[in-house]
Amino acid sequence: RRDDLINVAGRKISPARIESILVRVPGIRHALVFGCPSPNPTRGDEIVAVVNLEPDEAETIGTAIRAMANQLAPHECPRHWWSCPELEPDVRGKLSRSQWRERFLQSRSDEVE
């Protein structure tokens, strides 16, 4: 969807494209990508990837980072990674970007306090 696009330094990035790469990485059960405000206002947003990993797949994020670097431009690669076993589709089979963005931002503000 057009309103899901992430603005990274004036470039519009499709989270669905990044998610389609992530879910093909062995060990990733579910993936959700969204933008969050960058501390640098000229950058716009930073890309966040939330992943639900298979058990005992600690190395999977490293594999995913390499997959991103091989298939995407540097500005399209996630800057933040969050491994979260609670990331599961709802009863309609959907993942809510707005809910997970709020959870991510809340977790960041909790770290600051």
Per residue of the chain (113 residues), give pLDDT as tens. Answer: 677 899 999 999 999 999 999 999 999 999 999 999 999 888 899 999 999 999 877 788 899 999 999 999 999 999 999 999 999 999 999 999 999 999 999 987 766 55
The per-residue pLDDT for 92 is: 94
Q: Are strands 45-53 and 80-83 parallel, antiparallel or unpaired?
A: parallel
The per-residue pLDDT for 3 is: 74
| Residues 106 and 100 sit within 8 Å (Cβ to Cβ) | no
- The whole-angstrom separation of Cα 25 and Cα 78 is 15
Annotation: CATH topology of 2-112: GMP Synthetase; Chain A, domain 3 (3.30.300)
pTM: 0.90
* In the chain, where the domains are located: 2-112
Residue entry with tokens 């990508």: 33
| Residues 64 and 25 sit within 8 Å (Cβ to Cβ) | yes
The per-residue pLDDT for 111 is: 63
- The whole-angstrom separation of Cα 35 and Cα 105 is 10
For residue 12, which of 44, 49, 60 has the smallest C-alpha distance?
A: 44
